[in-house]
Structure 1
Amino acid sequence: MVIYGYPVGDIVDSTKLIVPDDLYKIHLTPSRSKFIVIGTKDSIFNWMKSYGNVLCGFDNETQFISHPKLSQRFTTRNKFKICSIEPHKMLKFELYDENEHDGIFKRMFSSSKMRLEIKAKHSSKHMEASSVMSVSGKNGISLQEVLMALKNNPSRSRRCYNLSSEQLARVTCDYE
């Protein structure tokens, strides 16, 4: 089972997610800067496959500017919608382990609870260091493209896939 939505506030809590009625686009803004998917690694990947055609995008808040009408026949004002979309804004897709105390084998075999965070890319090294897997993508990328990048680039996994078999055995002994 997967839980997904936009978090309420800064604290990620699966009970406080705003779930969109119809998910056709993951629309991030400065005031709604994250989208969260919680489940096991396999269930998150299956969810991404099911919603593969969903596009992920970031744009600044839509602004409404009022301008007087040129014709003086009417007393109403026209409103023009100005949306300042940043087409080159990069998005970050980071997979975190919710149960950091679990062994490395649970992470490798997808049985531990994980969280996928979709957000605008920031240069914070602290946030990057704690993720299990991380992929960047351009504004407008589909979940299918992200899923393929996560599956095809296991070297992006910092905690298990970059290790040799000897290192993996040593780390496994340390964790268990």
Structure 2
Amino acid sequence: SSAPGAVPSAPSVSRPSPYASLPHIPSSAKGGRTPANKSRWPALLGGIALLAICICALFLLIQIGIGPGQSGGTPSPTSAPYTYRLGGDAYLSKGQEPSLYYINGSIYIDSTAQFSKANITVFLYEGSYRVASATETVDVYQNKIEYSLPVRLDSFYAQTSDRILVQINDIY
């Protein structure tokens, strides 16, 4: 007694048992003892020890002067060339001979170690153009390098030079 053009119904499908979706518990796990909780102390102590070692290493590196110099003209002995503008601690002075000038200044070394000599190169710039340079071994007193290095210079550049770069080649 189906209507003409009707779709025949699909045969009924049996439903799976509601217990089929439960996980299978192996018989060896039934009634067994639960494992004892492992202590977290070894991992915690290991982490604290590693942190302490890192802090000590950092403190040691700072003490021997490896790291950034303090502001105000204090590079560390291992730092890259240190640049600062003419004026204040760095200046040009005229020598006795024509075209003879002196690049004068001082920088501090950021280190607890005491040094007595430093070999430095001082470069004089006008903008990005290198005008003159001089290299000399100078004395270091209480980690302060003071220098007065002679350079031959045209009077035009003596007036227009605007910065110097101090490079510490060696310090001992």
Bigger radius of gyration: 2
Q: Going by fraction, where is helix more abundant, 1 or 2?
A: 1
User: Which is bigger in relative contact order (C-alpha 8 A, separation at least 6)?
Assistant: 1
